[in-house]
Structure 1
Amino acid sequence: MTSPFVRRRRLATELRTLREQNGMTADELAGRIYRSRMTVSKLENARCRPDVRDIVKIMKILGVTGEKFDEIFKIACDAADRGWWDSYGDAMGPRQRMYADLESGAASIHEYNQFTIPGVLQTPDFIRFIIEMAEAEGENAFIADRLVEARLRRRAHLLGTDGPHYEVILDEVVVRRPTAPPRVMLAQLRSLIETATRHPYVTLLVLPIAADFTGRLLPKSAFFLFGFKDPADPPLAVVDTVSTDIVHTARDEVMRYNQRYEHLRQAALSGAASLGLLADAAGDLEKRIDSSP
């Protein structure tokens, strides 16, 4: 399916451009469609699911006809669509719903993560441990079983025949530093190796600790680059911070993150060497488990 999130942003741009070309203020347009100015503002800033009937009214008022009318009508229908993630509501959390939405329409996803195993590659036991840690610190308000189920649905889409091309660069620290009980971490490392080996559209690269990054800036946060099938849907860069996700759509911002990703890729190990490092990390962890009392 097409990502409703992406289409809402595209619809917002179309509506704002058309209104301004017609020399009409947001207040004037709101009055013509018998809605509040806030409604128009939310539509033009992609902050709500559109009512297609309102979009049709707006297009008629702004004199949109023919192929342009059909194009925007289709965008509005896509923007108003609901995905499987909407049925999870608060059990899934707004941040994970946004990623599921973006993934649903993506043709390619590139991710850099220097802190943890990517969510869509986490095993059920690893996910449950992370949830337990969040609950212990009072940070988790979600239903564990539903959260795990939703994460696994995202994974199923990613690894399915219709899934996107997915490439992730992990900092070596992510696979070397234990962030879960030893046996859970070992199973997680083995799962990463199996996923990257078995699925042709998944590429896993490791940025080694010894990589020479002199003259370049390491990103301060994990980030994602999303590309979409329709060339009219602009690519996005999403920066993952502690408390929120920052979505960049401006061409120069997206280009900046593309350049940073290319620098990371150039410094990362090859696919084969990355799998070798993962195997070594798993082997080292297994030896520690076997030698522990």
Structure 2
Amino acid sequence: MALRTTISERQRRLGAELRKLREQAGLTVSEAGGLIGMGRVHLTHVEAARTAIPTPRLRALCESYGCTSATYVDALVCLSEDKGKGWWSAYKGKLPASALDLAELEAKADALASYESLFIPGIFQTEDYTTSIFRADDEVNTPEAIETAVGFRMARQGILTGERPPEVHAVIHEAALHMRFGGAAVMRKQLLRLIELSELPNVTIQVLPFAAEGVSTLSTPFLVLSSHGRALQTVLLETPAESLFLHDAEPITKYRKQFDRLRAAALPPIDAKVSPATHETRDSLGLIQYVLYTL
């Protein structure tokens, strides 16, 4: 039995879900493996994502664990049978594995909920804005590396207008509108891009103003991805050291509640069809237009 030398987030997620189901059923690895004619070592490798599991055995294992949600079991089968190939495969070996994992997750997502405090979300960025960010990056430090990183980020934006575009809801802190990445002209183009993207039926963009009440000013950026009929959810936290993919119930609930607080405190979404002058209160479009005026 050949074991994987490289493990993707999708494969890691399947193993984690199976381990969680087994533990909830109160079974040891040996007991669970015996239910489907699989040895303890083999099932240990499956849960560690070091090897695959055939679909009939996967379904039998879920049934043995008492899992009754057909939607959830089908989601696990999709994780197992998916080959993990896509446009991002061309970047293998050129970018960190976590970047490819994110692109694969986004491609399968039904919904994205993001909060950014200092940057415009990656899938909303213009090419010039992205380039200015990577030029200041210590890790991406050659023209070739910058070109690759920028091209990858631009390719990720294809999900916004694809055949099955996910629902995207972004809350962006006002501070991100004032950060001068690339200078005033680049920022002006970037802010206009936000207004343009808000016209897509699947995109909602809100700005969290400096004056917002009831939310922590120290809220860290995060992304919540829902996939497979929203049966699976993942929270992504990006740090200078690593990207963390969380999928346990507790952190997902925590960040879901945090996002609800942020969007409730944020200004009403950008609506380019309605003039800010007709609104009785401030809205996201009005604030963006004000920042544009001051650039």
AA matched with 1:9 = R
AA matched with 1:258 = R
TM-score (normalised: structure 2): 0.75
Residues 26-41 of structure 1 mapped to structure 2, 5 A cutoff:
41=44
Superposition deviation, residue 280 in structure 1? 1.5
Contact 1:172/1:209 (<8 A) preserved:
yes
Residue 167 of structure 2: aligned partner: 165
AA matched with 2:246 = H
Residue 148 of structure 2: aligned partner: 146
Residue 98 of structure 1: aligned partner: 101
Superposition deviation, residue 101 in structure 1? 1.1
Contact 1:167/1:202 (<8 A) preserved:
yes
Where 1:270 maps in the other structure, the secondary structure is: coil
Superposition deviation, residue 87 in structure 1? 2.2
Contact 1:7/1:75 (<8 A) preserved:
no
Give distance in 1, aligned partners of 2:63 and 2:188.
Answer: 62
Give distance in 2, aligned partners of 1:118 and 1:281.
Answer: 18
Contact 2:222/2:238 (<8 A) preserved:
yes
The superposition leaves residues 206-250 of structure 1 with CA deviations (integer Å, 9 ceiling, x where unpaired) of 00001123xx4345420011122335x322222222222222212
Given candidates 102, 111, 116, the residue that maps to 1:113 is 116
Cα distance, 1:114–1:24 mapped onto 2, change above 3 Å: closer
Superposition deviation, residue 166 in structure 1? 0.3
Give distance in 2, aligned partners of 1:7 and 1:159.
Answer: 27
Residue 81 of structure 1: aligned partner: 84
Give distance in 1, aligned partners of 2:100 and 2:184.
Answer: 30
Superposition deviation, residue 256 in structure 1? 1.0
Residue 252 of structure 2: aligned partner: 254
The superposition leaves residues 52-74 of structure 1 with CA deviations (integer Å, 9 ceiling, x where unpaired) of 56x7788899998xxx9x96994
AA matched with 1:119 = G
Find out whether 1:185 has 2:187 as its counterpart.
yes
Find out whether 1:284 has 2:294 as its counterpart.
yes
Give distance in 1, aligned partners of 2:148 and 2:203.
Answer: 25
Contact 1:221/1:240 (<8 A) preserved:
no
Contact 1:238/1:245 (<8 A) preserved:
yes
Give distance in 2, aligned partners of 1:271 and 1:16.
Answer: 38
The superposition leaves residues 79-124 of structure 1 with CA deviations (integer Å, 9 ceiling, x where unpaired) of 4432221221132332321211111111110000002111111111
Give distance in 1, aligned partners of 2:255 and 2:57.
Answer: 38
Find out whether 1:275 has 2:282 as its counterpart.
no
Find out whether 1:230 has 2:229 as its counterpart.
yes
Contact 2:124/2:157 (<8 A) preserved:
yes
How many residue pairs match? The answer is 267
Cα distance, 1:63–1:150 mapped onto 2, change above 3 Å: same
Give distance in 1, aligned partners of 2:59 and 2:226.
Answer: 28
Cα distance, 1:22–1:143 mapped onto 2, change above 3 Å: same
Find out whether 1:201 has 2:233 as its counterpart.
no
AA matched with 1:230 = G
Cα distance, 1:173–1:72 mapped onto 2, change above 3 Å: closer
AA matched with 1:109 = L
AA matched with 1:228 = S
Give distance in 2, aligned partners of 1:248 and 1:161.
Answer: 27
Where 2:89 maps in the other structure, the secondary structure is: helix
In structure 1, stretches of 5+ residues that fail to align are: 286-293
Contact 2:29/2:44 (<8 A) preserved:
no
The superposition leaves residues 123-160 of structure 1 with CA deviations (integer Å, 9 ceiling, x where unpaired) of 111112222211xx355477333322221221011233
Residue 289 of structure 1: aligned partner: none
Superposition deviation, residue 179 in structure 1? 2.5
- Seq. identity, %: 22
Find out whether 1:217 has 2:216 as its counterpart.
yes
Cα distance, 1:6–1:187 mapped onto 2, change above 3 Å: same
Contact 1:8/1:76 (<8 A) preserved:
no
Superposition deviation, residue 174 in structure 1? 0.3
- If each structure's helix is expressed as a fraction of its own residues, which one has the higher value? 1
TM-score (normalised: structure 1): 0.75
Contact 2:10/2:79 (<8 A) preserved:
no
Cα distance, 1:208–1:25 mapped onto 2, change above 3 Å: same
Residue 291 of structure 1: aligned partner: none
Given candidates 42, 46, 50, the residue that maps to 1:43 is 46
Give distance in 1, aligned partners of 2:57 and 2:201.
Answer: 46
Cα distance, 1:249–1:90 mapped onto 2, change above 3 Å: same
AA matched with 1:229 = H
Give distance in 1, aligned partners of 2:245 and 2:222.
Answer: 10
